[in-house]
Structure 1
Amino acid sequence: MAEMATEEEEFLTKDGTVDYEGNPADKRKTGTWKACPYIIGNECCERLAYYGMSSNLVLYFKNRLNQSSATATKNNSDWSGTCYITPLLGAFLADAYLGRYWTIAGFSIIYVFGMTLLTMSASMPGLRPACTAEDKCQSTDGQSAVFFVALYMIALGTGGIKPCVSSYGADQFDDADPVEKEHKASFFNWFYFSINVGALIASSVLVWVQDNVSWGWGLGIPAIAMAIAVVSFFTGTRKYRYQKPGGSPLTRICQVMVASFRKYRVNVPDEKDQIKESTVDPWRLCTVTQVEEFKAIIRLLPIWATGIVFAAVYSQMSNLFILQGDTMDKRVGHSKFKISAANVSVFDTLSVIFWVPIYDRIIVPAVRKFTGHKNGFTQLQRMGIGLVISIFAMVYPAILELIRLRMVREHNYYELDSVPISIFWQVPQYFLIGCAEVFTFIGQLEFFYDQAPDAMRSLCSALSLTTVALGNYLSSLLVTIVTGLGGKPGWIPDNLNYGHVDYFFWLLAGLSFVNLVAFVVIARRYTYKKPVGTLR
């Protein structure tokens, strides 16, 4: 009997995960790639819904809500930023009270309600903006209010999904099992791959529907996709592994700070005194584990900060890249068929879909032979390569805009809606952004999960996402600074033919270079956390 019990224990996870009934998780029935397809399917559909709505949003603000170019860009950046701030709330609830499963489930339902209201605001008479035959639209304050309420419901909904879903997928692999740990590194690549499958459909099919059929259908289909995402997630319930909530990580961090402040002049007590004080108020005396968790978070912050400028670069795909493309010739070849400026973002998605398997199956094995590292590059090396590529992702559109403006001046095209230069010249800048994503964003996902304290993984995933939020807010701030100062049109006027969007791209390229230098200095000083099972 003892032998049978020992054999059964060999199939149980060693990382504290349990099954849906609360029993120790059985490796034969739960987790790994048995559970991940449901999580990846959920993420694919959720991202289809998100990008199906957000890819063309700046043009909805401008053409349907009748906002200026600068206002549309700022509103889009502010909303996108909020979508990456709310994960702090979702992470707090997941780590402290609900666990990742119920956090994802509950906030997904809020997301569905937001998408439904957004669809109604774009399709129902009385809620949708009134448009003339010439497609000139004007919205009332009430119509705009309904639209923004729906948008920020979605921002709240996504806040419970973003910080949890990648960590929840990684939870399906036992770090104490060498085979499963190796598969986890591959999971992050394919997880990001699924994001871009959803984004591919959104930036091609859904953007076309929005421009050529109706915004009602263009937003209704993402709402249906989000409902499918919820169904996909619940379907895998019996196959998942669950980490029990470990209490509020923010509370533990605050306790360390308060206790440290109170005792910064107190001598270290001897062992006997420590035993006596072990039952005192945790706001006066913290455990060693709490202190180590706090130190781990502090060590992550410099790396975290270097992600903000990269996120500002990334945000241009849904902002100035779209506005730039809207001023160019959108015909496909010499035909009469036209695409939307937002359609070109499909090349970012194609770039990611191209580079993920290339990186996972070709680059990693090749680099591994030279570095000896099991993943080829270290996580920080991978992120640094992406930061280098992001500089060129800003240099190229700056040069393209310089060429476009030169054509405007030479041929007096100032009042033309579109300059006769093909929008497909934007493809390289999207392709470069996609390549940078594969290195930086995926590396960041894996880095913050691996380097986080076990009980703070949702929080650290959310922390990594806040770089995207702050990047969007940084972009919004820069737009405010360079637009309309001193009564002048600034760099980003309503008619970009009178502006200098190229200056804005050069500014971001310069900031990216400075950021890269800072990252290299910080990364060289960083010491990785010891992996599970390491004794010294």
Structure 2
Amino acid sequence: MEVTDEERPLIHHLSPQDEDSQYTRDGTVDINDQPAQKQSTGNWRACFMILGAEFTECMAFFAIGKNLVTFLTAELHETNVDAARNVSSWIGSCFLTPVIGAFLADTYWGRYKTIVIFLLIYIIGMLILTVSASLPFIVDVPSNSGIRRVSVYLGLYLVALGTGGIKPCTSALGADQFDGADPVERATKGSFFNWYYFSVNIGSLLSGTVLVWVQQDIGWGVGFAVPMVLMMSGLAVFVAGRKVYRYKQLGVSPLTRVAQVVVAAVRNYRVVLHEDTSGGIEHSRQFRFFDKAAIVVPSTREKGPAAATSPWRLCTASQVEELKMLLRMLPVWASMVLFFAATAQMSSTLIEQGAAMDNRVGPFTVPPASLATFDVISVMICIPVYDAVLVPLARRATGKDRGLSQLQRIGVGLALSAVGMAYAALVEARRLALARASMPAMNIMWQAPAFAVLGAGEVFASIGILEFFYDESPDGMKSLGNAFAQLAIAAGSYLNSAVLGAVAAITARGGDPGWIPENLNDGHLDYFFWMMAALSLTNLAQFAYCSIKYRGKTI
């Protein structure tokens, strides 16, 4: 760092210990690209503004996602199957775009700039969605007109794109505010993740209660406008804190490192292995095709040193092993796809099931989407119970510091997803029996245990997979590992959409109403839930087999 004449007298009077304590030692810089000062940057003063932006994004995301199936069926007059499929596809896109955001943040823009740009895209999407929801009241057009449908989906997918730059960057930028080389700040970083997860769940809780009620009882336009205004204020607060943030300097994108191995392996085919042990990673014999990426090809030697050492023609053995680590985690990742397909029912078929039930609870009328609140409450209760009760008990039984291993924790979550689907099937079978016997409708609160069980499953499986990918990913690819975990949610949502389409096509042949018709009393939604329960059990068996075979990364 270049020192100005004004700074020299101050630095001259500082001892080496004072200089060390004045600046962060993990390489972070301030907004002027100078070493970040501990007293004036980072820590909780910065995190509160970052958490504020994340909170407003979560309010907007859940305000749309929790009640979207109701909006599509009631306002756009989509069928139950089409609405459920479209909701799953949209949610899948919301968890697919973080790969784009993470790549841009790590390679070109940095986390702060990426968040600002994608927040603006998000707000534009919310504005279009708000206007489209209010369109029948602004101009005389049918509620399900083509122009309204186009504007709704344009707004939805701009929101999906916007969330892609926020989800992977806010947690990482928040973690950057604590000096990883300082023992005190490093310990405090764990508290930030607790508050980060807490803000996400509070946003979900408020959206599932207050905003869903506003949408149902006041109007969809107001229900979308409120979180849009909150996001605008969140953006203003976030930008106002730019001078106190700590910033990580850009390095080589992990996606680029992976792509280099694949391209070099395809290009290279001879056998002069370029050994490298600087990364400390032991050579493995799995996926040996990619070892060709660490081969020096004679033709590149003849073209000169620049060609021979191009990272797109020659990678280190450590770099090859990093890709192999990611590939070894693929079977575990695949098991999570079906888990998230099961939990996707909370924003699709379970909402449709609730709409066919008696939603009066005492003097209140409960919107079907509000039942997802029990998922959030379950998560918020299970996390402290897991830490305070289950971990000590499991630690005594297993002798492991964490109590359950990450794979064991994921396995419990997969089992709970099967239980949740089986319970939903039993409730639907009972609801159908009452409806066909012309008896009073089943009360919507019978759905609460299904949401609670699936929420408990998320505490085990969702958090477990994040820990698993963080620990098992190579040191230089932690962010890619987290993005990989997010991709499982996207894949699960897309799988749910495909399964719903297949079920509708197969069961509605020959004029039959099918399992999920417009009037659920004419169908068999319980058969669909039983099918998901059976698939979840099969998935659990496959996961158990993979867990036994999994050996983890070798360092």
1:358: Cα distance to partner? 3.0
The residue number in structure 1 matching 2:62 is 51
Counterpart residue type for residue 509 of structure 1: A
The residue number in structure 1 matching 2:85 is 74
Cα 1:454–1:253 change in 2 (3 A) is: same
1:406: Cα distance to partner? 1.5
1:296: Cα distance to partner? 3.2
Cα 1:363–1:331 change in 2 (3 A) is: same
Q: Name the CA distance, whole Å, in 1 between partners of 2:524 and 2:154.
A: 33
The residue number in structure 1 matching 2:127 is 116
Counting only pairs closer than 5 Å after superposition, residues 426-445 of structure 1 correspond to structure 2 as 426-445=447-466
Candidates 190, 193, 211, aligned match of 2:195? 190
Candidates 228, 234, 237, aligned match of 2:233? 228
Q: Name the CA distance, whole Å, in 2 between partners of 1:478 and 1:204.
A: 29
SS at match of 2:442: strand
RMSD between superposed Cα atoms in Å: 2.9
Instruction: State the structure with more CA Rg.
Output: 2
Q: Name the CA distance, whole Å, in 1 between partners of 2:167 and 2:388.
A: 27
The residue number in structure 1 matching 2:410 is 383
Candidates 517, 526, 539, aligned match of 1:493? 517
Candidates 430, 434, 437, aligned match of 1:403? 430
Matched, 1:60 2:60: no
Q: Percent of pairs identical after alignment?
A: 45
Matched, 1:165 2:170: yes
The residue number in structure 2 matching 1:311 is 340
Q: What is the TM-score normalised by the length of structure 2?
A: 0.85
Highest relative contact order (Cα 8 Å, sep 6+), 1 or 2?
A: 1
**Greater Cα shift, 342-351 or 290-299:** 290-299
Q: Name the CA distance, whole Å, in 1 between partners of 2:22 and 2:401.
A: 25
Q: Name the CA distance, whole Å, in 1 between partners of 2:445 and 2:474.
A: 45
SS at match of 2:514: coil
Spell out, residue by residue over 1:61-101, the C-alpha distance to the aligned partner (whole angstroms, 9 max, x if none).
Answer: 11110111111111111111111111121111111111222
1:502: Cα distance to partner? 1.1
Cα 1:221–1:434 change in 2 (3 A) is: same
Q: Name the CA distance, whole Å, in 1 between partners of 2:361 and 2:136.
A: 34
Aligned residues: 516
1:463: Cα distance to partner? 2.0
Q: Name the CA distance, whole Å, in 2 between partners of 1:126 and 1:321.
A: 30
Q: Name the CA distance, whole Å, in 2 between partners of 1:236 and 1:243.
A: 16
The residue number in structure 1 matching 2:283 is none
Hey, which bits of structure 1, 4+ residues long, moved more than 6 A?
Answer: 126-129, 273-276
Q: Name the CA distance, whole Å, in 1 between partners of 2:98 and 2:551.
A: 27
Candidates 323, 346, 350, aligned match of 2:377? 350
Cα 1:27–1:264 change in 2 (3 A) is: farther
Structure 1 regions of 5+ residues with no counterpart? Answer: 131-136, 414-418, 531-535
1:176: Cα distance to partner? 4.9
Spell out, residue by residue over 1:115-150, the C-alpha distance to the aligned partner (whole angstroms, 9 max, x if none).
Answer: 1111111124476785xxxxxx74111111111111
1:207: Cα distance to partner? 0.8
Cα 1:159–1:246 change in 2 (3 A) is: same
The residue number in structure 1 matching 2:441 is 420
Q: Name the CA distance, whole Å, in 2 between partners of 1:270 and 1:83.
A: 41
1:369: Cα distance to partner? 5.6
SS at match of 2:518: coil
Matched, 1:284 2:313: yes
Q: Name the CA distance, whole Å, in 1 between partners of 2:391 and 2:45.
A: 25
Conserved 8 A contact 1:197-1:353: no
Q: Name the CA distance, whole Å, in 2 between partners of 1:321 and 1:111.
A: 27
The residue number in structure 1 matching 2:286 is none
Matched, 1:510 2:534: yes
1:429: Cα distance to partner? 0.7
Cα 1:245–1:517 change in 2 (3 A) is: farther
Conserved 8 A contact 1:129-1:143: no
**Greater Cα shift, 281-290 or 148-157:** 281-290
1:221: Cα distance to partner? 0.7
**Greater Cα shift, 306-315 or 322-331:** 306-315
Q: What is the TM-score normalised by the length of structure 1?
A: 0.88
Counterpart residue type for residue 71 of structure 1: D
